[in-house]
Amino acid sequence: MNFREAKIVTRFDYKNLVRSAPGVTFLILYLYVAINLGAWLAEQLRGTATLGGGANVDPEMARQATNSLLVKIVSWFLGGKDEVVRFLVFDRPVAMSAFFLLSLLVMPILVLFLSFNQISGYVSRRSIRYIVPKTGRLELYLGLFASNLLFFSLVSGALTAVMTVGWVLASKDVGTGVVVGYSLQILAAVWLSCIPIIALMSMLAAMTGSPVATVFLGLGTYLVVILAGYFMSAQTEWGKVFYYLLPLEPKYWFAYPSVGHFIGAGALMLLYAAAYLALGWLFLRRRNL
Amino acid sequence: MYRPSGLTALAVFNFVLAGWGLLKLLGVAIVLAAGTPKGAQGQPPPQFLMLLTLGYLIFDIGLMVTAGIGYLKLKRFLGRWVGSIEAVVSLAYFVAVVAYVQSEGIPFDVRNLSALVYPGLTLVLLNIVFRENLVH
């Protein structure tokens, strides 16, 4: 593995990604949709309770809040885990918690549309034949993965910066420190939960060699894993194993109160990413380009 | 010279947003002509804000279309400079409206932040990412 060559590939592809029509469109639409979603959630906060005050929450406000849409969203995601729901509703700004959980659900799916054109673009255009003599396949494969990750980091970083300003301006009862700290936690969690998906798309791109097929296969994999997990878990206890083919369940550990859960979820995300990348490499290593 | 596809996408966004701005301009003109417009709380929106919006929209639509053509032709002045001026004008309008609304004691609506996305990104893209392309 030549890190210098991988770095050159990353820099070159990152520049291309930022300048490409899908890159620019993704950047604008992603920020626009996410900000409006966050703003809508913040709007729900008005008239119920700002919460985030821990033990000082007024019981009447708490009663109102438990009927609010935001609490229903949080409870839906973490059904049965009452202590986590209580933590997210009463110890954290509830609108931010709802945004956090919705981001964990939606962002990995949006990332499927960002990272489909990795090595598959070069394979389908046959331009990979001119690149491979200059650099190794592994360097190219990992370099393209890194450039997609870098681009996603830029977008999610920009989003978090804008959202943090908005949250600080909108929430009067919650301290700036709490808002900024929670924003950083959301950024880290969403970023980590998207790494395996970018790696999954790297693997699928190496398998198919076509950007269109990569998108459809990525979406199909998501859908099949969810449906198979749902139906199989209804039949047998072991059916739940299907859910773990993708990091669907563990990503919600990021929202748990303990630091241990956060670190465990982060480590698991990196493990998933490494497994997908390794599988993709097995295909690409001997593929006829 | 080679035109990156992202610059073409940015030009298309400019034309679409100019069209959207034209619709907004029409709406503001109708509200002003109607004489007794009603705001969200049944109050008439301040005349100052309406006139500011009207002026801004007329100026902004012109700049957006001009800059869009500049992006397609890879022009330094029409593309990079006019595009940057348009973004700065949009940001200044945003700041003016927020300052006015805050001075009236109306709480800040986070949804307004989405108005920062396009001008902010335009400034970054034109002056960092596409700087080497807009040179004619």
Of chain A, the percentage scoring pLDDT greater than 70 comes to 85
Asked if residue A123 has pLDDT above 50, the reply is yes
**Testing the interface with A: which of B113, B118, B123 to mutate, by most A Cβ within 10 A?**
B113
Asked if residue A52 has pLDDT above 50, the reply is no
- Give me the pLDDT at residue A70, please: 65
Which of A110, A137, A134 has its CA nearest to residue A123? A137
d(CA A97, CA A106): 14
List Cβ neighbours of A71 (8 Å cut-off, separation of 6 or more): A65, A85, A89, A94
Which of A37, A26, A27 has its CA nearest to residue A167? A37
- Give me the pLDDT at residue A275, please: 95
- ipTM > 0.90, yes or no: no
Question: Per-residue pLDDT averaged across B94-110, rounded?
Answer: 78
d(CA A177, CA A272): 33
Asked if residue A60 has pLDDT above 90, the reply is no
A28 contacts chain B (CB < 8 A): yes
Annotate A186-209 with b (16+ C-beta within 10 A) or e (fewer): bbebbbbbbbbbbbbbbbbbbbbb
For residue A20, give the nearest of B6, B109, B114 by CB distance: B6
Question: Per-residue pLDDT averaged across A192-211, rounded?
Answer: 90
Asked if residue A5 has pLDDT above 90, the reply is no
pLDDT in tens, A25-37: 888 888 887 778 7
Q: Cβ contacts (< 8 Å) between A166 and chain B: which residues?
A: 110, 113
Model confidence at A278, pLDDT cuts 50, 70, 90, reads very high
Model confidence at A253, pLDDT cuts 50, 70, 90, reads confident
- Decide if B110 and A166 are in contact by the 8 Å CB cutoff: yes
Rounded to the nearest integer, the mean pLDDT of chain B is: 85
What residues of B are in the A interface, CB distance below 8 Å? 4-10, 13, 107-114, 116-118, 120-121, 125, 129-130
- Give me the pLDDT at residue A13, please: 83
The DSSP secondary-structure symbol of B35 reads S
Q: Give the range among A40-54, A159-173, B34-48 with minimum mean pLDDT.
A: A40-54
pLDDT in tens, B71-84: 999 999 999 999 99
Asked if residue A50 has pLDDT above 60, the reply is no
Question: Per-residue pLDDT averaged across B55-81, rounded?
Answer: 92
Model confidence at B45, pLDDT cuts 50, 70, 90, reads low
d(CA A261, CA A171): 27
- CA count, 13 A, side-chain hemisphere, B108: 17
Model confidence at B90, pLDDT cuts 50, 70, 90, reads very high
d(CA B10, CA A39): 25
d(CA A245, CA A218): 13
Model confidence at A197, pLDDT cuts 50, 70, 90, reads very high
Model confidence at A203, pLDDT cuts 50, 70, 90, reads very high
d(CA B16, CA B121): 16
CA A283 to mean position of chain CA atoms: 25
Q: Cβ contacts (< 8 Å) between B113 and chain A: which residues?
A: 35, 39, 162-163, 165-166
Which of A56, A55, A48, A37 has its CA nearest to residue A72? A48
